[in-house]
Amino acid sequence: MGQRATRILFGHMKDELPDLHQWNSFQQLQAAINEYMGCYNNECYQWNLAKFSLNQYDEFIKAGEYPLKKLVPTPERPMVLQS
C-alpha cells in the first residue's frame, strides 16, 4: 500500500473508530483495527473504483469481468503495471 493510501485509510479509521483509549490491551486495539480494515476492504464501496470495495475491484482487475454489466455500463478497465 502506498503512503497516500495508508494516510487515507488511517484518516478514515481515526474518524470512524470510537475513542482509541477505550481498549485495555494491545490485543483489543489490534482486533478493532483488523475488524475495521476487513470492513474497509470488503464493504466500503469506492465510486472512483467502478463502484466496488477494494477487494472487489482487485478481483475485477484480475478477472476482467464486470459483474454489474447488466445494471450499469461497464467502466473502462485500467491498465495495470506489472512490477
Q: What is the pLDDT of residues 33-52, one digit of tens each?
A: 888 888 888 888 877 777 78
Mean pLDDT of 14-26: 79
Cell of 20: 482509541
Do the domain assignments include residue 74? no
What is the average per-residue pLDDT within 23-39?
A: 87
- Domain membership of residue 11 (yes or no) is yes
Identify whether 79 is part of a domain: no
In a domain, 80, yes or no: no
What rounded mean pLDDT belongs to the chain? Answer: 76
User: Do the domain assignments include residue 26?
Assistant: yes
The DSSP secondary-structure symbol of 24 reads: S
What is the extent of the structural domain holding 28?
Answer: 3-63
**3 state SS of 46:** strand
Question: Domain tally for the chain?
Answer: 1
Decide if 83 is inside a domain.
Answer: no
* Whole-prediction pTM: 0.59
> Which phi and psi angles does 51 have, rounded to 5°?
65, 30
Give a yes or no: residue 43 inside a domain.
yes
- Three-state SS at 47: helix
pLDDT given at position 3: 77
Residue 72 lies inside a defined structural domain of this protein: no
